[in-house]
Amino acid sequence: RVSSKQISLALGIKPTQFRQDFHYFGGFGQPGRGYDKQILIRVLEKILGVDHILNMVIIGVGHLGTALAKYPHFERFNLRLVGLFDRNPRIIGSTMRGIQIMHPDELTQFAHRQMVNLAVITTDAASAYETCQRIIQAGIKGVWNFTSVRLTAPSGFVVRNEQPALGLLALTFRLNELEHLAQPNDFARQLEPLE
Protein backbone atom coordinates (compact mmCIF):
# COMPACT_ATOMS: atom_id res chain seq x y z
CA ARG A 1 0.00 0.00 0.00
CA VAL A 2 1.05 3.60 -0.51
CA SER A 3 -0.33 6.78 1.05
CA SER A 4 -1.30 9.99 -0.71
CA LYS A 5 1.37 11.69 1.42
CA GLN A 6 4.10 9.41 0.01
CA ILE A 7 2.91 9.91 -3.56
CA SER A 8 2.51 13.67 -3.25
CA LEU A 9 5.97 13.97 -1.68
CA ALA A 10 7.47 12.09 -4.65
CA LEU A 11 5.55 14.31 -7.09
CA GLY A 12 6.27 17.56 -5.27
CA ILE A 13 2.59 18.47 -4.72
CA LYS A 14 0.31 18.76 -1.69
CA PRO A 15 -1.45 15.56 -0.49
CA THR A 16 -4.79 17.37 -0.62
CA GLN A 17 -4.20 18.24 -4.29
CA PHE A 18 -3.34 14.64 -5.09
CA ARG A 19 -6.46 13.31 -3.32
CA GLN A 20 -8.64 15.93 -5.01
CA ASP A 21 -7.26 15.04 -8.46
CA PHE A 22 -7.79 11.33 -7.87
CA HIS A 23 -11.28 11.90 -6.51
CA TYR A 24 -12.14 13.43 -9.90
CA PHE A 25 -11.52 9.99 -11.45
CA GLY A 26 -13.72 8.25 -8.87
CA GLY A 27 -11.88 7.94 -5.54
CA PHE A 28 -10.40 4.48 -5.16
CA GLY A 29 -8.29 4.91 -2.04
CA GLN A 30 -9.36 4.25 1.54
CA PRO A 31 -9.04 7.00 4.17
CA GLY A 32 -6.27 6.12 6.60
CA ARG A 33 -5.22 3.09 4.54
CA GLY A 34 -4.01 4.70 1.32
CA TYR A 35 -3.96 2.97 -2.03
CA ASP A 36 -3.32 -0.62 -3.01
CA LYS A 37 -0.30 -0.31 -5.34
CA GLN A 38 -1.50 -2.83 -7.92
CA ILE A 39 -4.96 -1.26 -8.15
CA LEU A 40 -3.35 2.20 -8.32
CA ILE A 41 -1.14 1.11 -11.23
CA ARG A 42 -4.09 -0.40 -13.12
CA VAL A 43 -6.25 2.70 -12.59
CA LEU A 44 -3.44 5.07 -13.66
CA GLU A 45 -2.80 2.98 -16.78
CA LYS A 46 -6.49 3.20 -17.64
CA ILE A 47 -6.63 6.97 -16.99
CA LEU A 48 -3.55 7.53 -19.17
CA GLY A 49 -4.83 5.20 -21.88
CA VAL A 50 -1.87 2.83 -21.72
CA ASP A 51 -3.81 -0.15 -20.39
CA HIS A 52 -3.78 -1.58 -23.92
CA ILE A 53 -1.24 -1.59 -26.76
CA LEU A 54 -1.15 1.44 -29.06
CA ASN A 55 0.53 1.05 -32.44
CA MET A 56 2.82 3.90 -33.43
CA VAL A 57 4.67 5.01 -36.58
CA ILE A 58 7.44 7.56 -37.07
CA ILE A 59 7.45 9.74 -40.17
CA GLY A 60 10.87 11.24 -40.84
CA VAL A 61 13.78 8.93 -40.08
CA GLY A 62 16.54 11.53 -39.79
CA HIS A 63 18.56 12.07 -36.62
CA LEU A 64 15.59 12.73 -34.30
CA GLY A 65 13.37 10.09 -35.87
CA THR A 66 16.17 7.53 -35.55
CA ALA A 67 16.76 8.46 -31.91
CA LEU A 68 13.05 8.06 -31.13
CA ALA A 69 12.89 4.79 -33.04
CA LYS A 70 15.74 3.45 -30.92
CA TYR A 71 14.25 4.69 -27.63
CA PRO A 72 13.94 1.51 -25.55
CA HIS A 73 11.16 2.49 -23.14
CA PHE A 74 8.08 3.08 -25.31
CA GLU A 75 7.07 -0.53 -24.73
CA ARG A 76 6.89 0.13 -20.98
CA PHE A 77 3.92 2.38 -21.78
CA ASN A 78 2.34 -0.10 -24.22
CA LEU A 79 3.45 1.96 -27.22
CA ARG A 80 4.57 -0.38 -29.98
CA LEU A 81 6.57 0.99 -32.91
CA VAL A 82 5.22 -0.76 -36.01
CA GLY A 83 6.27 1.48 -38.91
CA LEU A 84 8.92 3.90 -40.15
CA PHE A 85 8.43 6.28 -43.09
CA ASP A 86 10.76 8.60 -44.96
CA ARG A 87 11.06 10.19 -48.42
CA ASN A 88 14.81 9.66 -48.71
CA PRO A 89 15.29 7.03 -51.46
CA ARG A 90 18.66 6.02 -49.93
CA ILE A 91 17.04 4.65 -46.77
CA ILE A 92 13.69 3.36 -48.10
CA GLY A 93 13.80 -0.43 -47.93
CA SER A 94 16.46 -0.52 -45.20
CA THR A 95 15.52 -1.72 -41.74
CA MET A 96 15.81 -0.36 -38.23
CA ARG A 97 14.85 -2.41 -35.18
CA GLY A 98 13.60 -5.03 -37.62
CA ILE A 99 11.18 -2.56 -39.24
CA GLN A 100 11.46 -1.76 -42.94
CA ILE A 101 11.46 1.95 -43.80
CA MET A 102 8.70 2.81 -46.29
CA HIS A 103 7.73 5.82 -48.40
CA PRO A 104 4.97 8.01 -46.86
CA ASP A 105 2.72 7.19 -49.85
CA GLU A 106 2.27 3.77 -48.24
CA LEU A 107 1.02 5.20 -44.93
CA THR A 108 -2.75 4.96 -45.47
CA GLN A 109 -2.79 1.28 -46.40
CA PHE A 110 -0.25 0.45 -43.70
CA ALA A 111 -2.21 2.38 -41.04
CA HIS A 112 -5.41 0.46 -41.81
CA ARG A 113 -3.63 -2.90 -41.93
CA GLN A 114 -1.68 -2.33 -38.68
CA MET A 115 -4.43 -0.35 -36.87
CA VAL A 116 -2.09 2.55 -36.13
CA ASN A 117 -3.19 4.84 -33.28
CA LEU A 118 -0.36 7.36 -33.14
CA ALA A 119 2.02 9.01 -35.63
CA VAL A 120 5.20 10.84 -34.68
CA ILE A 121 6.30 13.62 -37.04
CA THR A 122 10.04 14.32 -37.16
CA THR A 123 10.21 15.69 -40.70
CA ASP A 124 11.58 19.08 -41.70
CA ALA A 125 9.31 22.07 -41.04
CA ALA A 126 8.41 22.45 -44.73
CA SER A 127 6.85 18.95 -44.78
CA ALA A 128 5.06 19.15 -41.42
CA TYR A 129 1.64 20.37 -42.58
CA GLU A 130 1.44 17.96 -45.52
CA THR A 131 2.55 15.10 -43.27
CA CYS A 132 -0.12 15.95 -40.69
CA GLN A 133 -2.78 16.02 -43.43
CA ARG A 134 -1.58 12.63 -44.67
CA ILE A 135 -1.82 11.22 -41.13
CA ILE A 136 -5.37 12.54 -40.65
CA GLN A 137 -6.43 11.18 -44.05
CA ALA A 138 -5.03 7.79 -43.01
CA GLY A 139 -7.36 7.88 -40.01
CA ILE A 140 -4.60 7.99 -37.39
CA LYS A 141 -6.12 9.82 -34.42
CA GLY A 142 -3.01 10.92 -32.51
CA VAL A 143 -0.14 13.10 -33.78
CA TRP A 144 3.04 13.77 -31.81
CA ASN A 145 4.72 16.67 -33.62
CA PHE A 146 8.43 17.41 -33.14
CA THR A 147 8.75 19.96 -35.96
CA SER A 148 9.04 23.71 -35.38
CA VAL A 149 5.61 24.20 -37.02
CA ARG A 150 2.62 24.36 -34.67
CA LEU A 151 0.05 21.94 -36.06
CA THR A 152 -3.68 21.68 -35.35
CA ALA A 153 -6.15 18.94 -36.15
CA PRO A 154 -9.90 18.76 -36.70
CA SER A 155 -12.34 17.44 -34.12
CA GLY A 156 -11.82 13.74 -33.48
CA PHE A 157 -8.03 13.98 -33.75
CA VAL A 158 -5.44 15.15 -31.25
CA VAL A 159 -2.07 16.83 -31.82
CA ARG A 160 0.69 17.25 -29.25
CA ASN A 161 3.21 19.89 -30.37
CA GLU A 162 6.59 19.46 -28.72
CA GLN A 163 8.74 22.56 -28.63
CA PRO A 164 12.26 21.51 -27.55
CA ALA A 165 13.49 25.10 -27.95
CA LEU A 166 10.96 26.31 -25.36
CA GLY A 167 12.15 23.68 -22.92
CA LEU A 168 15.70 24.80 -23.52
CA LEU A 169 14.72 28.43 -22.93
CA ALA A 170 13.07 27.46 -19.64
CA LEU A 171 16.29 25.70 -18.65
CA THR A 172 18.53 28.63 -19.57
CA PHE A 173 16.19 30.98 -17.67
CA ARG A 174 16.52 28.81 -14.56
CA LEU A 175 20.32 28.67 -14.97
CA ASN A 176 20.43 32.45 -15.33
CA GLU A 177 18.19 32.77 -12.29
CA LEU A 178 20.56 30.57 -10.25
CA GLU A 179 23.55 32.70 -11.24
CA HIS A 180 21.79 35.88 -10.13
CA LEU A 181 20.49 34.60 -6.77
CA ALA A 182 23.58 35.91 -5.03
CA GLN A 183 23.07 39.36 -6.60
CA PRO A 184 19.27 39.86 -6.73
CA ASN A 185 19.47 43.44 -7.99
CA ASP A 186 21.54 42.63 -11.09
CA PHE A 187 18.52 42.51 -13.39
CA ALA A 188 17.20 45.83 -12.10
CA ARG A 189 20.61 47.49 -12.49
CA GLN A 190 20.90 46.25 -16.08
CA LEU A 191 17.52 47.79 -16.90
CA GLU A 192 18.25 51.23 -15.39
CA PRO A 193 18.27 53.99 -18.01
CA LEU A 194 21.63 55.44 -18.96
CA GLU A 195 22.22 59.04 -17.95
* Residue 184 pLDDT class (50, 70, 90 cuts): low
* pLDDT tens profile 12-30: 888 888 878 877 777 666 6
* pLDDT tens profile 37-67: 888 888 888 888 888 899 999 999 999 999 9
Of all residues in the chain, the percent with pLDDT exceeding 90 is 55
Question: Which pTM was predicted?
Answer: 0.78
Report d(CA 44, CA 27) in Å as an integer. 12
pLDDT on residue 193: 60
